[in-house]
Chain A
């Protein structure tokens, strides 16, 4: 599903983001990418959804070589990959329903399709009775669930979550992790970037550890060492 071959990313002038990363993620996997702050976890995530291009190496997603992806093809890629961030990135002036619908609207989906998909997605993330709330009327965990719901509208093959629980307390974090697990059970490949030791340890899934932009360990059913 995801294949990195000797991928490096150097930011100008010569800040190393990641260096010589090679890895292969199979469909349906749930990988956690861990490491200290500034070790290139977000860079790795950005390379996946083509927010950044690799300086060297090749990246393939679902058999699609996105190493030199053309600008006009990026929207197509993004409709096949869901992304979630620490800061939720919701539109404050839109309701829960509108925030989720927005992702379909800007992709030019038809209204009847939007009316069909949005409630389904909101049911998955357990917000079906908070449709008309605005983000500031929701808890952090709920806001993150809206963001996850929005990431699911195109039924993506891959969901990338960059520190999704970074702003949440333990209880809310667990809720989000459970939701991600549930989504993974439906068959979506998940790449979770985190430095939350407990969450990773509870998961008991594959863990890739980065240090100074390099993969220093990659173990099935791993634990967060460091």
Chain B
């Protein structure tokens, strides 16, 4: 077994070199498919990151009337904290609101003057509510209709971030759909090309294969070189993909970070921490696909 494994490997390499251009075309097509899939992965990471970032900034401001009791406010806080959708609640007391207003408008004499005319603090307490996801806000807003403090609330204010998130989603979904379609087309072409490469390989070696048959070569010995060659081509394709993906991702990451105004978009990290799953998975999937195609070609052209 060991001895013939060595020979089978040798045969497989011979196949590779003898059909050098065919091997190149096959690898290129596999590569194209894999690169498309990896672009989809990059897109996924960026989308998640973008949505995360937007969601991070979403908050509902709840303004109470200035006469509202502290107990009502704390009841509202406790109630909101109890909701599953709520990530965080920040309380801004009436005094804090006043100080904040003053610092913000310190240079605007008109406003400061009118503020001074008022004898009392015109501001009421307010809450800043953060949610886990953009979709949660409608529910949070609805929840604030609770009769316990509904009447103390002067205003609920939130920008329509859900709309933004949905826009990001629908745009990336469209790109993703296109990418998936492209990947599927590439994959189908790759299957055809693998099929053809094996077919030509069988054709080139028909004499040798015929003689192998006559002298009693096992079927495994005849088939294995073709299978092994395709595993080899898959491995090369995945290797090249990794070689292309890492530098590219490392290059675009700083550019993206500008948009995200964070230190990193996490792309390099994503590909580094999941490298085994990503490239190992792609290798396995590719081997399955190419072996399937090789099997078909052998069934058709290698009558055993």
> Is the CB–CB distance between A89 and B219 below 8 Å?
no
Q: Could you say which of B1, B207, B216, B304 contacts A106, with CB atoms under 8 Å apart? A: B216
Interface centre among B214, B216, B221 (most CB of A within 10 A): B216
Q: Does A225 contact B (CB under 8 A)?
A: no
> Is the CB–CB distance between B216 and A79 below 8 Å?
yes
Within 8 A of B (CB), among A120-162: 150-151, 153-154
Q: Does B272 contact A (CB under 8 A)?
A: no
Chain A residue contacts of B1, Cβ below 8 A: 108
> Is the CB–CB distance between A75 and B211 below 8 Å?
no
Q: Which residue of A lies closest to B209 (CB)?
A: A106
Chain A residue contacts of B221, Cβ below 8 A: 106-108
Q: Does A71 contact B (CB under 8 A)?
A: yes
Known: A89-B211, A89-B214, A91-B208. A111 touches B219 (CB 8 A): no
Within 8 A of A (CB), among B136-180: none
Least distance between B106 CB and chain A CB atoms (Å): 91
> Is the CB–CB distance between A108 and B211 below 8 Å?
no
Interface residue count on the A side (C-beta < 8 Å): 26
> Is the CB–CB distance between A78 and B214 below 8 Å?
yes
Q: Which residue of A lies closest to B218 (CB)?
A: A75
Least distance between B218 CB and chain A CB atoms (Å): 5
Q: Does A103 contact B (CB under 8 A)?
A: yes
Q: Could you say which of A71, A74, A108 contacts B4, with CB atoms under 8 Å apart? A: A108
Within 8 A of A (CB), among B189-213: 207-208, 210-213
Q: Does B215 contact A (CB under 8 A)?
A: yes
Within 8 A of B (CB), among A27-62: 49
A89 to B215, CA, bound (A): 11
Q: Mark A60-100, 1 if CB is under 8 A from B, else 0.
A: 00000000000110111111000100000111000000000
- Residues in B lying within 8 Å of A, measured CB to CB: 1, 3-4, 7, 207-208, 210-219, 221-222, 304
Q: Identify 15 residue pairs between A and B in the complex whose beta-carbon atoms are under 8 Å apart, listed by A's number.
A: A75-B216, A76-B216, A77-B216, A78-B214, A78-B216, A83-B214, A89-B210, A91-B208, A102-B215, A103-B215, A106-B215, A108-B218, A150-B215, A151-B215, A154-B216
